[in-house]
């Protein structure tokens, strides 16, 4: 009798857990544009890698049932685009190939009172590809906000990634790289 009662309670608990999980699913919105990236991949003097393991991706929006996916890919695109001029200059000077490891250390999105606020921070380490020799390290952060519903907030996330990419490009351009 006790075993049958415990089985019924467990069965009802599992049904309730499945129901709650089914209702709490988050709407994942990609922050990448719909069109494919058709830029040619060529050898670059600065190889960019993104590490987002210290943050929870997709980026959940507090106060809404939405998450942003592909944030790490958006960072890679933004940084590679921001570094195009610096990369061309380094290639022209036949500089030592470098690796820029960018670690996403903070990512937060919040929706409150019809306003979406996104905050991000990264740590970037520059090393020579040959021998993994340390060159320099910095950090960058950005905050962006807009009065938009979370489902249409991808441009706000991209504003953060672009701002950080521009900061890293300025930092890299200011280094005396040979």
- Given pLDDT bands bounded at 50, 70 and 90, which one contains residue 23? very low
pLDDT for 169 beyond 80 = yes
Distances in Å between the Cα of 178 and the Cα atoms of 88, 101, 115 are 13, 19, 45
pLDDT for 19 beyond 50 = no
More confident residue, 176 or 121: 121
Contact (Cβ atoms closer than 8 angstroms) between residue 32 and residue 77:
yes
Confidence at residue 2, expressed as pLDDT on a 0 to 100 scale: 46
pTM exceeds 0.85: no
Confidence at residue 39, expressed as pLDDT on a 0 to 100 scale: 55
Confidence at residue 95, expressed as pLDDT on a 0 to 100 scale: 74
Q: What is the dihedral of CA 168, 122, 159, 73, to 10 degrees?
A: 100
Confidence at residue 178, expressed as pLDDT on a 0 to 100 scale: 66
Radius of gyration (Cα) for the chain, nearest Å? Answer: 22
Tell me which range, 3-7, 31-35, 104-108, 173-177, is most confidently predicted by mean pLDDT.
Answer: 104-108
Q: Rounded to an integer, what distance in angstroms lies between the CA atom of residue 126 and that of residue 173?
A: 12
Confidence at residue 42, expressed as pLDDT on a 0 to 100 scale: 61
Report pLDDT digits (tens) over 60-116: 999 999 999 999 999 999 999 999 988 888 878 777 889 999 999 999 999 999 999
Percentage of the chain modeled with pLDDT above 90: 65
Percentage of the chain modeled with pLDDT above 70: 80
DSSP conformation letters of 6-75: HHHHHHHHHHHHHHHHHHT--EEEE-S-SS---PPP---SEEEEEE-TTS-SSEEEETSSEEEE-HHHHH
Confidence at residue 35, expressed as pLDDT on a 0 to 100 scale: 62
More confident residue, 173 or 53: 53
Q: Which helix (H) or strand (E) holds 104?
A: strand 98-112
Average pLDDT over the chain, rounded to whole? 84
More confident residue, 13 or 131: 131
Per CATH, the homologous superfamily of domain 44-173 is ABC-type transport auxiliary lipoprotein component (3.40.50.10610)
């Amino acid at each position: 009798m006790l075993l049958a009662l415990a089985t019924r309670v467990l069965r009802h608990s599992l049904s309730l857990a499945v129901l709650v999980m089914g209702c709490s699913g988050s709407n994942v919105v990609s922050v990448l544009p719909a069109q494919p990236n058709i830029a040619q991949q060529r050898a670059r003097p600065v190889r960019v890698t993104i590490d987002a393991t210290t943050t929870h991706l997709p980026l959940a929006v507090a106060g809404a049932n939405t998450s942003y996916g592909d944030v790490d890919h958006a960072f890679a695109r933004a940084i590679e685009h921001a570094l195009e001029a610096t990369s061309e200059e380094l290639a022209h000077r036949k500089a030592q190939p470098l690796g820029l490891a960018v670690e996403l250390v903070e990512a937060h999105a919040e929706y409150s009172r019809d306003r979406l606020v996104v905050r991000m921070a990264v740590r970037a380490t520059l090393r020579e590809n040959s021998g993994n020799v340390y060159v320099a390290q910095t950090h960058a952060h950005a905050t962006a906000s807009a009065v938009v519903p979370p489902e249409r907030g991808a441009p706000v996330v991209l504003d953060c990634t672009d701002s950080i990419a521009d900061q890293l490009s300025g930092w890299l351009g200011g280094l005396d790289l040979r």
